[in-house]
């Protein structure tokens, strides 16, 4: 089986490889330079506690070769929310299995970065994934306007910082919703539930209005995914299972 598929996009024949690399077809013509782009995905999950929902959002992140007046060049980066799902009443074992199957399914297989909200019980899910040798990043939400990492799986990021990042990406058009995205209205309602408040001490904090429809689960998943797409370096996901793990 070939490790690529070919499509014609904007009058250009492109080769989409299984590892997420995208390159233009040159037809072995030395006058046509090969230009390498990419199509990858960010799968972000907010893990629910007790009766809360677990929410998962998928962001397509691509930068493809395009034609312009000077020939083939690398086009603009485009990020699109293409997947959304939520569920509750399942064990963390089943949540882990679902995340693993999702990263192995098309179109995500071999091209997806898994990011989870590692705050609170998210650390339990992170440990379970790690024990199965599932590469991922766990974002622990903190206060403040910055983020940091020890270059391991854990990342500390200010919740206000991540929400503002998501707002900027949507406002600038760098992040969009797919036109047929399920649960889009609910995600937008979740995002609208966050507001910036100034305390008596002059500090700015994020507050959230909660309703019977949920606790902002999809919004949190998208915020985590948008943050990762902007600040976390993509790396190839290696999905494997440890043998004889005790």
The encoded tokens of residue 151 equal 């270059």
The helix or strand, by DSSP H or E, that contains position 73, with its residue range, turns out to be strand 71-74
pLDDT in the model for residue 121: 81
pLDDT grade, residue 153 (50/70/90)? very high
pLDDT in the model for residue 198: 60
Neighbours of 99 (CB within 10 A): 22
Q: Residue 66 and residue 47: Cα distance in Å, rounded?
A: 38
Q: Residue 217: is it exposed, middle or buried by C-beta count within 10 angstroms (0-12/13-18/19+)?
A: buried
- Contact indicator for 82, 225 with CB cutoff of 8 Å: no
- Contact indicator for 115, 224 with CB cutoff of 8 Å: yes
Q: Which of 170, 20, 37, 11 is nearest to 103 (CA)?
A: 20
pLDDT in the model for residue 17: 94
Q: Which residues contact 6 (CB under 8 A, 6 or more apart)?
A: 13, 14, 15, 16, 25
Higher-scoring residue by pLDDT: 28, 117:
117
Classify 191 as helix, strand or coil. helix
pLDDT in the model for residue 165: 95
Look at residue 1 and tell me whether its pLDDT is greater than 70: no
Instruction: Write out pLDDT tens, residues 93-140.
Output: 999 999 999 999 999 999 999 999 998 888 999 999 999 999 999 999
Instruction: Write out pLDDT tens, residues 140-151.
Output: 999 888 999 887
CA distances from 156 to 17, 130, 137, 162 (A): 33, 18, 11, 11
Q: Which domains does the chain have, with CATH numbers?
A: 40-57+91-231 (3.30.420.240)
Q: Which of 220, 182, 234, 246 is nearest to 48 (CA)?
A: 220
Q: Percentage of residues in the chain with pLDDT exceeding 90?
A: 63
């Amino acid at each position: 089986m070939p490790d690529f598929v070919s499509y014609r996009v904007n009058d250009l024949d492109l080769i989409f490889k299984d590892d997420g690399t995208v390159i233009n077809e040159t037809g072995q013509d030395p006058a046509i330079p090969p230009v390498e782009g990419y199509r990858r995905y960010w799968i972000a999950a907010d893990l629910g506690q007790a009766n809360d929902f677990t929410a998962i959002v998928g962001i397509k992140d691509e930068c493809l070769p395009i034609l312009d007046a000077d020939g083939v060049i690398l086009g603009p980066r485009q990020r699109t929310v293409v997947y959304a799902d939520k569920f509750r009443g399942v064990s963390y074992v089943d949540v882990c299995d679902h995340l693993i199957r999702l990263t192995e399914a098309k179109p995500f297989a071999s091209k997806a970065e898994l990011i989870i909200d590692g705050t609170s019980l998210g650390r339990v899910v992170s440990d379970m994934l790690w024990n199965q040798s599932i590469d991922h990043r766990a974002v622990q939400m903190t206060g403040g306007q910055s983020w940091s990492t020890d270059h391991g799986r854990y990342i500390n990021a200010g919740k206000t910082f991540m929400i503002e990042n998501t707002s900027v990406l949507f406002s600038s058009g760098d992040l969009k919703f797919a036109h047929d995205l399920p649960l889009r209205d609910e995600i937008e309602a979740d995002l609208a539930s966050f507001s910036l408040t100034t305390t008596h001490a002059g500090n700015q904090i994020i507050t959230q209005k909660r309703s019977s429809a949920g606790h902002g689960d999809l919004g949190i998943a998208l915020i985590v995914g948008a943050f990762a797409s902007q600040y976390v370096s993509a790396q190839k996901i290696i999905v494997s299972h440890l043998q004889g793990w005790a």
